[in-house]
Structure 1
Amino acid sequence: MASNKLLLFPGDGIGPEIMEEVKKVISWLSENGEDTFEYEEGLVGGSAYDVHGCAISEEDMVKAQAADAVIFGAVGGPKWDDVPYDVRPEAGLLRLRKDLGLFANLRPAICYPALADASSLKKDIIEGLDILIVRELTGGVYFGEPKEIIELGNGQKRGIDTQVYDSYEIERIAGVAFDLARTRGNKVCSMEKRNVMKSGVLWNEVVTSTHKADYADVELEHMLADAGGMQLVRWPKQFDVIVTDNLFGDMLSDVAAMLTGSLGMLPSASLGATDETTGKRKALYEPVHGSAPDIAGAGAANPIAMIASFAMALRYSFQKIAEADMLEKAISNALDKGLRTKDIAQQGEATITTAQMGDAIVAELNALAGVSA
């Protein structure tokens, strides 16, 4: 029996609440699966700032480096709006991504059949939706230098953010997208803004050359990112895998999230390069939604994206494909029974709490595995 080491970062807002529901799943797997999952917890974001005066401590960074996978909740909230920019809650997540080398962000957008009516789009447009956005995560405008605000005099200021990509960064994220497409519909759409950005011109050139050299069997399409946003809401099922840069990936994945009915439904995985010695990747798994401080503590948060993020950990970090499939099936079965948190309920539908949804998914795991509760 293998033992897997997890580091949990609940974070701020609803993060601790939804992480409690993941703990239920982790405990269930340790009790009923072939492997055990051990975990410890750390502080990140505003909760870390309150204790350490920074968004993540050096001690917790060491723990993150040693973990087999990091499971991350959410960070931020109005409580920390006035803290210095370098120690703002989001800086903890950005440091984890950078120091762990998590360059590939995978954001699936899947429409569960039971939630086809929850989307703001017509049912025929999103029913059966299954797309994957592959976002470059450690380059681009979020990390480019210079990044500053300078005084120009006469009461004027200038804000500067720099969009920078090297060819190797584009090659490796394109390779991830093409490899994943081979396991799905074998189709990639690359999105950039080559009409107005030199980094977009390079992106287009490198993706094209990577495709020609190693992935000619995969269908490749290029699309301007703004047109891609339009097409996501016009006819999203035309896409299989979308690969794009850090900035556009951030925006397009949130658009894709709402196709599914709620940000509370969208998980994500952030992966590093494969270690040549161990064959393992550094990895962090998190829901796409934010900390939602307005509902924190109310038991109204949807834990499904958090639990589905752990399913991605089972799939990509631990190669537990059967267990990942079973957990995703448990989520689907709970939804099929009409169980809804507030964010995915239609008018007049009864709703359940965060903890009740977590309990319901564990109950479905018991049913699928033939385990007595």
Structure 2
Amino acid sequence: MIGKQQFRLLVLPGDGIGPEVMREALRVVEWIGQYAEVEFTIRHALAGGAAIDAYGTPMLDETIEQAMHADAVLFGAVGGPRWEKLGFDLRPELAILRLRRELSLFANLRPVTVFDPLIEASTIKPEVIRNLDLMIVRECMGGLYFGEPRGIETMQDGQMRGFNTETYSTVEIERVARVAFDLARHRRRVVCSVEKANVTESGLVWRQVISKLHERDYADVELRHMYADNCAMQLVRNPKQFDVIVTGNIFGDILSDLASMLTGSLGMLPSATIGVPRGDRFVPAVYEPIHGSAPDIAGRGIANPMAQILSVAMMLRLSFRMEREATLVEQACIAALAAGARTADLAAAGEKALSTWEMGDAVLHQLEETAGKRQLTA
């Protein structure tokens, strides 16, 4: 192993279909390691419901420590009905929320790309989504999910009241906006900032801060403002008007799930959660599919692993600066789809649906094919 570049990777498969799709992603990681002659030092740990079952907590302090010393974290999915009665403070989703907070990861990048072979899999007309390529930048350390005060109380008349606080400061807004503007400079130079400035003070502050930052540092990028409800409508009506969307935590959560259906399936969208870069790399960072743990299909071997595999591609690009290999993985996924590979979520009526493992096989086959062609033309 002397002379090989080394990367430390923490793997948290999670719950439900998490371990199933993670297995296929790790097969790709292993292949990339051999192809690029790099060494991935991989550690595994429990998170979410699996950690609750084993340790009584969604995330051990020891696991957080491991994540802090890793170059990247590959995360599966957490949650499920079996843990819903444990109480709000023990919900499995606290695992990913704590990771983001403890590692100071404030920007979640969610690319929405429609691959040509899947145009017919979407419920949207082909002419509306063909060549769609947009990026949603979601702030993920503030807003409604983290704001204080929050809680549940019983009022004097016996009624229960739940409350959360939507709050954003200048620093929180500026740092995620910079990520969006910097990304746009390498794309089509258009940022759409999304909030509800017409009815919320936090939305008004969001708009004012981003406008001032744009005027001061990013005048070369076009800035548009849009209310969140209108943005949801426009994503279905005319999604290609967008280049980079930047928005707060809850709107980013909702809008990215909506946008996922433009691509044909929630099982196709990866994500990266990043903080301040170290040099030209985002270390540490968390990479995960945006889909959930899908407990209704867990253990059946029919889950789509593409989003988890494409999350590996984002990891290679952003944390390891392996652009060639990241592109290779993405091309292999597209080639597998073009060759007719479909899991149940993508298959049309009467079309053969591959198992999770078979879809992984299809991607690995295309990696071998593409790598072989590259060697012949080198």
TM-score (ref. length: structure 1): 0.98
1:185 aligns with 2:188: yes
1:302 aligns with 2:304: yes
Which residue of structure 1 lines up, in the alignment, with residue 288 of structure 2?
286
One-letter code of the match for 1:142? Answer: Y
Return the offset for 1:281. Answer: 2.9
CA deviation string 1:319-351 (max 9, x = no partner): 111110010000000000011000011111111
Contact 2:281 2:319 in 1 (8 A): no
Classify the secondary structure of the residue corresponding to 1:293.
coil
Between stretches 30-39 and 320-329, larger displacement belongs to 30-39
Return the offset for 1:273. Answer: 1.1
Which residue of structure 2 lines up, in the alignment, with residue 70 of structure 1?
73
CA deviation string 1:302-335 (max 9, x = no partner): 0000000010000100111111001000000000
Which residue of structure 1 lines up, in the alignment, with residue 111 of structure 2?
108
Whole-angstrom distance in 1 between the partners of 2:24 and 2:31: 11
One-letter code of the match for 1:309? Answer: S
Which residue of structure 1 lines up, in the alignment, with residue 90 of structure 2?
87
Could you list the runs of 5+ residues in structure 1 that have no partner in the other structure? none
Which residue of structure 1 lines up, in the alignment, with residue 34 of structure 2?
31
Which residue of structure 1 lines up, in the alignment, with residue 44 of structure 2?
41
Classify the secondary structure of the residue corresponding to 1:301.
coil
CA deviation string 1:120-144 (max 9, x = no partner): 1111111111110000010101000
Whole-angstrom distance in 1 between the partners of 2:161 and 2:284: 37
Whole-angstrom distance in 2 between the partners of 1:221 and 1:281: 31
Contact 1:273 1:282 in 2 (8 A): no
Whole-angstrom distance in 1 between the partners of 2:104 and 2:117: 37
CA deviation string 1:240-259 (max 9, x = no partner): 00000001000000011111
Whole-angstrom distance in 2 between the partners of 1:8 and 1:140: 28
Which residue of structure 1 lines up, in the alignment, with residue 260 of structure 2?
257
Could you list the runs of 5+ residues in structure 2 that have no partner in the other structure? none
1:342 aligns with 2:339: no
Whole-angstrom distance in 2 between the partners of 1:185 and 1:279: 22
Which residue of structure 2 lines up, in the alignment, with residue 168 of structure 1?
171
Classify the secondary structure of the residue corresponding to 2:43.
strand
Return the offset for 1:87. Answer: 1.6
1:9 aligns with 2:12: yes
One-letter code of the match for 1:217? Answer: D
1:360 aligns with 2:359: no
1:234 aligns with 2:234: no
Classify the secondary structure of the residue corresponding to 2:121.
coil
Which residue of structure 1 lines up, in the alignment, with residue 330 of structure 2?
328
One-letter code of the match for 2:194? Answer: M
Classify the secondary structure of the residue corresponding to 1:82.
helix
Whole-angstrom distance in 2 between the partners of 1:239 and 1:296: 35
Whole-angstrom distance in 1 between the partners of 2:54 and 2:38: 34
Return the offset for 1:84. Answer: 2.2
Whole-angstrom distance in 1 between the partners of 2:11 and 2:236: 34
Contact 2:154 2:160 in 1 (8 A): yes
Whole-angstrom distance in 2 between the partners of 1:195 and 1:279: 38
Contact 1:101 1:282 in 2 (8 A): no
Whole-angstrom distance in 2 between the partners of 1:19 and 1:41: 11
Whole-angstrom distance in 2 between the partners of 1:350 and 1:225: 38
Return the offset for 1:157. Answer: 1.8
CA RMSD after TM alignment: 1.3
Which residue of structure 2 lines up, in the alignment, with residue 194 of structure 1?
197
Classify the secondary structure of the residue corresponding to 1:313.
helix
Whole-angstrom distance in 1 between the partners of 2:207 and 2:81: 39
TM-score (ref. length: structure 2): 0.96
Contact 1:126 1:237 in 2 (8 A): yes
Classify the secondary structure of the residue corresponding to 2:308.
helix
Aligned match of 2:316 in 294, 305, 314? 314
Contact 1:29 1:36 in 2 (8 A): no
Aligned length: 371
Classify the secondary structure of the residue corresponding to 1:221.
strand
Whole-angstrom distance in 1 between the partners of 2:132 and 2:115: 8
Return the offset for 1:203. Answer: 0.3
Return the offset for 1:40. Answer: 1.0
Whole-angstrom distance in 2 between the partners of 1:233 and 1:215: 28
Which residue of structure 1 lines up, in the alignment, with residue 102 of structure 2?
99
Aligned match of 1:154 in 154, 157, 162? 157
